Amino acid sequence: MKSLLRLLLKNQHPQNRYPQAQTEKGMTLIELLIGTVMAFLIITPMLAFVVDMLNTDRREQVKTNTEQDIQAAVDFIAQDLSQAIHIYDNNTTTGIPALIEGQFIPTGADRTPILVFWKRQIIRSAIPADNTVTPQPSDCPTDPQPGQPRVCDDTYVLSLVAYYQITDNLPIWCQPSGLPCPTRIARYQIQDGLENKKSLTTGQLYTQFRAGQTRHRAYNAGNPATNAPAFDITRPEQNVTRGGANFDEPPEVLVNYIDHTPKPLSGGNECANALGNPAVTSAGGGSTPIGEGTLKITDPDTNSFYACVDTSRNIARVTIRGNSLRRLQNSNVPSSPENSAFFPTASVQVQGLGARGR
């Protein structure tokens, strides 16, 4: 009996020590298909969520950039206007329409003048202070050293500044490409030259350039369009510039992506209310309110860049409306209450230096 049990254990031991290897199996086609479908159901919503977040972030960034551009443009105009000594309104005989009719400012079917004014511009260390030296700006150091004798004086020149809304379709200002293009605001400056106060000829201008400034018109006879000495700031509607082909300098673009979708102005007396209902005092002591048509200068098709001007008090209020959606697509989308956040608006009201000729 013991021999039989010992034989059975001896035969069983190798089987337990060396078990038969089991066959390994891979994924079946059905399992692979089910896994693919589950991955698609999980990844697709996540991918759509990520894409939506990226698009939202881009739209918000574009909106922020447009708001900053519009505010920077308004701040620049405010600083420019603070030096104004005469601001033109929309009066047909003494305002911007008269300047256009007299060809005193650049004109064109693709550009509308909105804000036009005269300013006094200071030129630092520009004219010689010593009568014994040759009275030319070329004698003045371009970078005077502190503590050195003052050899040149500061002076002022008159500059005619004009802000336009331009609606052409140049590709460089029309990105993404597609019509209609956004409008832009550009600035012209027609600057007078430095007057030679020591000259025996009244109103004679310097003819030599300042050393190192051979392309700076402020240091010679000024812009070719200037009409000195025929122009008199006390009569700002006469002999304003030489006009015509003398406008040889291109405008400087201040800001692009100005709204180009039609939008009516709010209220019939917006400018009158904003400027405190200005009036003209008659010789008999009475006063007549200045009409909205005289106070407001705008492009009637879009009303996205306009000015309210009270010439008698030298006050101007400027409003600009941008269009950030045009940065994202090649077509204009009208503003509405639903997308108003993408059409930022900024305004500023400035009073110039004071009375004309001051």
237/97 Cα distance (integer angstroms): 10
User: What does each C-alpha distance from 316 to 72, 132, 143, 303 come to in angstroms?
Assistant: 17, 45, 36, 16
pLDDT at position 295, please? 95
Q: What is the pLDDT of residue 98?
A: 95
For the beta carbon of residue 117, count every other beta carbon within 10 angstroms: 24
135, burial (CB in 10 Å: exposed 0-12, middle 13-18, buried 19+): middle
**223-238 per-position pLDDT tens digit:** 788 887 788 888 999 9
Q: Which residue has the tokens 């030599």?
A: 208
Closest to 87 (Cα-Cα) out of 325, 321, 316: 316
> Tell me, what's the pLDDT at 117?
97
- Paired sense of beta strands 252-258 and 183-191, if any: antiparallel
Give the tokens for residue 199: 């000259």
- Tell me the per-residue pLDDT of 344-357, one tens digit each, with 9 for 90 and over: 999 999 999 864 44
Which amino acid is present at 230?
A
Instruction: Say how far apart CA 151 and CA 144 lie, in whole Å.
Output: 9
Q: Is the model's pTM score more than 0.85?
A: no
User: Cβ contacts of residue 131 below 8 Å, gap of 6+?
Assistant: 198
Query: For residues 249 and 215, what is the distance between their CA atoms, to the nearest angstrom?
Result: 12
Q: What's the confidence (pLDDT) of residue 240?
A: 94
pLDDT at 192: 83
* Nearest CA-CA partner of 303 in 120, 174, 114: 114
Enumerate the β-bridge partners of residue 279.
289
The confidence score (pLDDT) of residue 265 equals 64
Give the dihedral of Cα atoms 65, 71, 76, 82; nearest 10 deg: 180
Regions of the chain short of the pLDDT cut 50: 211-219, 355-358
Q: Please tell me the distance from the alpha carbon of residue 195 to that of residue 157, in angstroms, as a whole number.
A: 8
Helix (H, G, I), strand (E, B) or coil at 153: strand
* pLDDT of amino acid 213: 46
pLDDT, residue 215, reads 39
Strand partners, 190: 160
DSSP structure class, residue 74: H
